[in-house]
């Protein structure tokens, strides 16, 4: 994996060196895989919201990260005994950023609609991308995203108000998303394969456990709740990671990144379908502006149009 200033969420290894250019069939398959990853991630978040009344947002976060960690540890079997102190430091910082990002995001969507939360959270990596690029054009893209936030504020003032605590939590999640970008890139450079991600998930679970353990424990007394938590871990963590890894072997990185910019739209769609969270005109326009800003940063920030690179907010990934 190589570092990237791309503002999007999950850590995904780069395609292997020497991968041939994608043909039309491969390109179409890759597009389908990326869209599938977006759908899986936001569907998993919508399922998680339905667990909040029973386990609390922090309990769901703890279970999701913990179950994903167990599955990935079994599959990857990272050789941690060979890691250096530098590698361990990078992985621990990555896991801490991941845990704080996921915990604050799930706490946000407990209070505000999914589409609005994802749109607000996108500010973190967008601002980071503009700061790292240090170009006026990237600052203008951030201004477009901020215009979307203004529309969200107007929608909240004139229509259904957004919980201010939820908005603050989404902003906090965005800040940690920016930290996730930086730390995931460092892990990508220092730790080969997916071992760094597997151990980082363990660290992330430990970070959120003090707030989430009481709720997470309740799931083990109810097979239905535990099953839904497992579905969340699969849909919101492992399935998107796998689909994106396959997609990177088929599509150019700019196409990949632009498709991931559609996540706020998918979040709003599944919030409406599964949770009954309706979006008005202003809120939909706000989401469109965030998508335009994210795609704009991607299009104007690439060093080479055909370059393939890793994408670090995720969490996925928010999100891992």
Q: Point out which residues pair with 317 in neighbouring strands.
A: 315, 319
Concatenated DSSP letters of 242-287: HHHHHHHTTS-HHHHHHHHTTHHHHHHHHHHHHH-----HHHHHHH
How far apart CA 59 and CA 51 sit, in angstroms, is: 9
Asked if the model's pLDDT at residue 172 lies above 80, the reply is yes
Does residue 203 form part of some domain? yes
Residue 133 lies in a domain: yes
Rounded to 10 deg, the angle between the 239-248 and 253-260 helix axes is 150
Decide if pLDDT at 234 tops 50.
yes
Reference 174, options 307, 306, 264; nearest CA is: 264
pTM of the predicted model, to two decimals? 0.76
**Given this model, what pLDDT does residue 120 score?**
83
pLDDT in tens, 83-129: 888 889 989 999 999 899 999 999 998 988 887 888 788 777 777 76
Residue 104 lies in a domain: yes
| 3-class secondary-structure state, position 311 | strand
Confirm whether 13 is domain-assigned.
Answer: no
Adjacent-strand bridge partners of 319: 316
DSSP state of 81: G
Q: Is residue 1 part of a domain?
A: no
Domain of 176, in residue numbers = 24-319
pLDDT tens, position by position, 7-28: 334 444 444 444 444 456 666 7
The answer to whether residue 82 sits within a structural domain is yes
Region of 134 (left: φ > 0; alpha: ψ -120 to 50; beta: rest) is left
Query: Angle, nearest 10°, between helix axes 136-158 and 123-133?
Result: 160
12 part of a folded domain? no
Residue 310 covered by a domain: yes
Number of structural domains (the chain) is: 1
198-208 confidence digits (pLDDT tens): 898 999 999 99
Residues in the chain: 320
């Amino acid at each position: 994996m190589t570092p990237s200033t791309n503002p999007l969420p999950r850590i995904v290894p780069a395609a292997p060196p020497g991968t041939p250019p994608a043909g039309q069939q491969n390109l179409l398959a890759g597009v389908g895989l990326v869209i599938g990853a977006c759908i899986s991630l936001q569907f998993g978040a919508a399922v998680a919201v339905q667990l909040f009344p029973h386990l609390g947002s922090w309990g769901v976060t703890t279970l999701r990260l913990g179950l994903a960690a167990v599955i990935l540890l079994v599959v990857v079997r990272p050789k941690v005994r060979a890691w250096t102190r530098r590698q361990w430091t990078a992985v621990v910082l990555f896991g801490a950023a991941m845990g704080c990002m996921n915990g604050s995001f799930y706490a946000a969507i407990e209070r505000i609609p999914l589409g609005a939360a994802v749109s607000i959270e996108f500010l973190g990596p967008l601002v980071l991308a503009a700061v790292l690029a240090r170009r006026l054009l990237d600052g203008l893209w951030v201004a477009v995203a901020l215009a979307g936030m203004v529309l969200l504020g107007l929608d909240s003032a004139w229509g259904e108000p957004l919980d201010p605590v939820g908005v603050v939590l989404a902003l906090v999640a965005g800040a940690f998303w920016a930290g996730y970008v930086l730390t995931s890139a460092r892990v990508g450079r220092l730790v080969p394969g997916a071992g760094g991600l597997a151990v980082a998930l363990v660290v992330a679970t430990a970070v959120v456990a003090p707030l989430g353990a009481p709720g997470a424990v309740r799931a083990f007394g109810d097979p239905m709740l535990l099953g839904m938590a497992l579905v969340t871990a699969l849909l919101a963590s492992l399935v998107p990671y796998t689909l994106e890894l396959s997609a990177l072997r088929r599509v150019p990185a700019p196409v990949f990144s632009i498709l991931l910019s559609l996540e706020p739209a998918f979040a709003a769609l599944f919030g409406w379908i599964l949770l009954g969270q309706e979006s008005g005109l202003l809120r939909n326009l706000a989401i469109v502006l965030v998508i335009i800003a994210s795609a704009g940063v991607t299009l104007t920030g690439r060093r080479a149009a055909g370059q393939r690179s890793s994408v670090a907010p995720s969490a996925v990934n928010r999100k891992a």
